[in-house]
Amino acid sequence: MHWPDDIAARYRAAGYWKGETFGDMLRELAGRYGPRPALIAPPAPDATGGAGTRWSFGDLAERADRLAAGLHGLGIGHGDRVVVQLPNVPEFYQVCFALFRLGALPVFALPAHRSAEISYFCAFTEAAAYVCPDDAHRALAPDTPALVLGDLPEGDPAVLAGLPGPAPGDVAFLQLSGGSTGLPKLIPRTHDDYIYSFRASAEICALTPESVYLCALPAAHNFPMSSPGVFGALSAGAASVLAPDPSPGTCFPLVERERVTITALVPPLALVWLDAAAGTAHDLSSLEVLQVGGAKFSEEAAKRVRPELGCTLQQVFGMAEGLVNYTRLDDPEDVIVSTQGRPISPDDEILIVDDDDRETDEGHLLTRGPYTIRGYWRAEEHNKLAFTADGFYRTGDIVRRTPGGHLVVEGRAKDQINRGGDKIAAEEVENHLLAHPSVHDASVVAVPDPYLGERSCAYLICRGEAPAKAELRAFLRERGIAAFKIPDRFEFVDAFPQTAVGKVSKRHLRERT
């Protein structure tokens, strides 16, 4: 699961891995930028007036230490897993840094996850605790002790003095994979590799202590976390503004008030922002860079960003498993609008291969490098499929490379639906559908959608009379899956088209819609 020793030594010698932990980083930042703003959150919508929350670098470090001491008092320590499901609030980062300090591993769930996902993460990781936003969430993981926002434990930081922290090569947290299998896979990221990825990203995005990053997407996702995201902003001494939701109605006033310079969106939201910018009374002139990624951004939409928002578009093609590609801020406009960028690191190795792993011009993207994992957490069998023998990760994306070295995403080979950036593993939803007594067989595929890029369609073969679509939706909700995974469409058929070897042909199903 780890990098081979000789390769790890090379990454250290090249200066990518600096032998630094998150704890070292926060201490250093608090020393250097102490009173400067680190995290800014608007007042809750129901609060009357008020300036919201503003934590300096010093506040964050101090609060993280008090919480670490409190968690230590509850018996949470090195190597323990803690499922974290929080909205975009400063406490999210306090919890991260507190767990990092103890060497305990946050497992990052998304706010949209419900009982099926949360209880699985808790059980599979044998979580010591579940950090959640309110009491109502306790029911999502009834067998795991819940720690509720607003009532997080505090202790005397002095107790931390005798506690050894994690090593830079240790796993710092478990991130979720978009997935293509029945059960979501967990991605182990180390202090060394992750810190490298967001420091290098902050540099590519030219962040300085004067930059202001707006976190509009869910904080737990890899994009707003580390590309460069809030961690990248912190590492550069920049402030981050935490938006409770990504709508223009919420974000435009924040951009104006806090003079936001950079933010990250998925393509459907970028379209909403472009449309809303035309008629807005808010001053968006501070915005220098709009990052768009998570799913393919169409060239027509990309071309609108500079004229309509007055800022530079940066396309971001990344994955929680590691590799992140960026168009560079000084790339020519035609490269910015027509490619998904090039890798962060000179040591990101890119292979483009055909179905037989022979190199080709357009095909499967394989990658390995200083911040791409060598294996999922506790998934030995799956790892044999998802990685080559020499450690390349099979991304499941179909790409080509331009003569200038930029990647263009042309499609996908993995059995996944990318619903406007939200990833849905077809098999996971199929398994839930198969649990319905009337469903004999199920096949979930992507169908094109002008707004989301893709929506999901479930093809079903039923026993006897087909159930009502509303009943199927209610059934899936009842099973506790995230709402974005519930199929947008249901189609009832007598049989599935088959491939030459007798497997369900999803390609033929997709062509039917």
CA–CA distance, 303 with 315 (Å, rounded to integer): 12
Binding to ligand OOB (CB under 6 A) within 376-405 occurs at 395, 397
Binding to ligand OOB (CB under 6 A) within 1-40 occurs at none
Number of helices and strands in the chain (H, E): 16, 24
Q: What is the DSSP string of 28-65?
A: HHHHHHTTSEEEEEPPPTTS-S---EEEEHHHHHHHHH
- Nearest approach in angstroms of CB 232 to ligand OOB is 11
- Nearest approach in angstroms of CB 166 to ligand OOB is 23
Which window, 81-89, 222-230, 246-254, 303-311, contacts ligand OOB (CB under 6 A)? 222-230
- Nearest approach in angstroms of CB 413 to ligand OOB is 10
Tokens 């995005």 sit on residue:
205
Please identify, using beta-carbon distances, which residue of 137 and 423 lies nearer to ligand OOB.
423
In sequence order, the 6+-apart residues with CB closer than 8 A to the CB of 294 are: 217, 221, 223, 266, 267, 316, 318, 418, 420, 421
Please identify, using beta-carbon distances, which residue of 33 and 173 lies nearer to ligand OOB.
173
Q: Which one of residues 320, 336, 429, 482 is an interface residue with ligand OOB (CB under 6 A)?
A: 320
Please identify, using beta-carbon distances, which residue of 57 and 108 lies nearer to ligand OOB.
108
Query: In this structure, how many other beta carbons lie within 10 angstroms of the beta carbon of residue 412?
Result: 19
Please identify, using beta-carbon distances, which residue of 157 and 267 lies nearer to ligand OOB.
267
Q: At 464, is the secondary structure helix, strand, or coil? A: coil
Q: What is the DSSP string of 234-267?
A: HHTT-EEEE-SS--HHHHHHHHHHHT--EEEE-H
Paired strand residues for 316:
293, 326
Which window, 56-64, 202-210, 310-318, 484-492, contacts ligand OOB (CB under 6 A)? 310-318
Which window, 23-31, 51-59, 291-299, 356-364, contacts ligand OOB (CB under 6 A)? 291-299
Please identify, using beta-carbon distances, which residue of 186 and 324 lies nearer to ligand OOB.
324
Q: Which one of residues 295, 336, 445, 452 is an interface residue with ligand OOB (CB under 6 A)?
A: 295
Nearest residue to ligand OOB, by Cβ distance, number only: 318
Please identify, using beta-carbon distances, which residue of 125 and 395 lies nearer to ligand OOB.
395
Binding to ligand OOB (CB under 6 A) within 39-68 occurs at none
Q: 54, exposed or middle or buried, with CB in 10 Å at 0-12, 13-18, 19+?
A: middle
Q: Which one of residues 223, 231, 371, 459 is an interface residue with ligand OOB (CB under 6 A)?
A: 223
339 binds ligand OOB (CB under 6 A): no
**What is the three-state SS of 305-334?**
HHHHHCCEEEEEEEECCEEEEECCCCCCHH
348 binds ligand OOB (CB under 6 A): no
340 binds ligand OOB (CB under 6 A): yes
Binding to ligand OOB (CB under 6 A) within 161-220 occurs at 178
CA–CA distance, 513 with 498 (Å, rounded to integer): 16
CA–CA distance, 185 with 178 (Å, rounded to integer): 8
Q: How many residues bind ligand OOB (CB under 6 A)?
A: 22
CA–CA distance, 511 with 459 (Å, rounded to integer): 12
- Nearest approach in angstroms of CB 226 to ligand OOB is 7
Residue ranges in contact with ligand OOB by CB under 6 A:
178, 222-223, 227, 293-296, 315-320, 324, 340, 395, 397, 409, 412, 418, 423
